[in-house]
Amino acid sequence: MAVLVTGGAGYIGSHMAWALLDAGEEVVVLDRLSTGFRWAVPAEARFYLGDVGDRAILSQVFAENDIDAILHFAGSIIVPQSVANPLDYYENNTGNTRLLAAAAIEAGIRHFVFSSTAAVYGDQKDDTPVFESADLHPKNPYGQSKLMSEMMLRDAAAAYDFRFVALRYFNVAGADPLGRTGLSTEGATHLIKIACEAELGKRRGVDVYGTDYSTPDGTGIRDYIHVTDLVNAHLKALSYLRRGGEPLIANCGYGRGYSVLEVLDAVMRVGGRKFEIRYGPRRPGDAASVVANSTLARRLLDWKPRHDDLDFIVETAITWEKGLASRKAEDLKSLQSRLASARF
């Protein structure tokens, strides 16, 4: 049996593909390469270029592979972009998830792990870790699109022979400690990625959006989780579903938050170089504080995160960022070689 990873050429999806292979799974990747990279897909995985919203490519993937589970990472994630282009987010995140789930049910694929988000919670009153049972008040179309997807999956599980786990991500950061993959997207909006670029001189500095939040230093607080701990939670979710586990929605975070300024300080401390910090107004849709209570995932999925250390997260991110220039040069050389030998 194989596992289909949608968005498997992207940041989290490529880490997932490697983790599945490390666990002895057969891996199939479907990605349209809008933000992902073909080189990020392990050579041992079977790759299909296409969109999860394309029924024809889904039919081909299901016909050519004996798939028993789908790990669905494909989607759009930039909050300000979702405010500016909400219908695009509802189409890519909600509409395509519906289509993928429908195709899976039709093909008899019973196990589905969905990438959700802490953005479904909206603002918290303080930095107290939030439970899954908290009121859901997304502040932006990104969070709304993910919440609507959760609702569809819940209803589908009640109606069909279909089970899912939705993992509500908090702030994912860091890179594979073995150096196999990391966050490589140009113009990425992840704070630690931006700060690492500034630390290495790839940016003039870092913009801080909002210094008047009701937090100790006035900047937003987030729960940062190392990407390898997150993909391990997906492995645990897959095992849970294969054992017959009931539909589940669970948080993935460490249960403590760091402010924007604390993160920037960590990057400068670990990297050893100071960079400019520029202060500006809040961005539309941003919450003041979002921190996870992940007791449910730890208890029901037997999830045991290992990298709850901001400095380690930053260190792996900087190490990956340092190697990106050589990686891109190698990819360009390889592409030029393939083009030179190609027959047109």
Does 3.40.50.300 match the CATH number of domain 2-341? Answer: no
Tokens of 129: 């870790």
Q: Give me the residue spans of the domains in the chain.
A: 2-341
Q: What is the mean pLDDT of each run of 10 residues along the chain (344 residues)?
A: 97 98 98 94 98 96 98 93 95 97 97 96 79 93 97 98 97 96 90 96 95 94 97 98 98 96 98 96 86 97 97 97 72 46 41
**What's the pLDDT score for residue 344?**
32
Sequence length of the chain is 344
User: Per-residue pLDDT tens for 220-246?
Assistant: 999 999 999 999 999 999 999 999 999
Radius of gyration for the alpha carbons in the chain, expressed in angstroms and rounded: 20
Q: How many CA atoms lie within 13 A of 245 on its CB side?
A: 22
Could you give phi then psi for residue 248, rounded to 5 degrees? -145, 140
* 224 and 166 Cβ atoms separated by less than 8 Å: no
User: Per-residue pLDDT tens for 148-188?
Assistant: 999 999 999 999 999 999 999 999 999 999 999 999 988 88
| Marked catalytic residue, from 90, 142, 224, 258 | 142
Element of type H or E holding 5: strand 2-6
Catalytic residue check, 142: yes
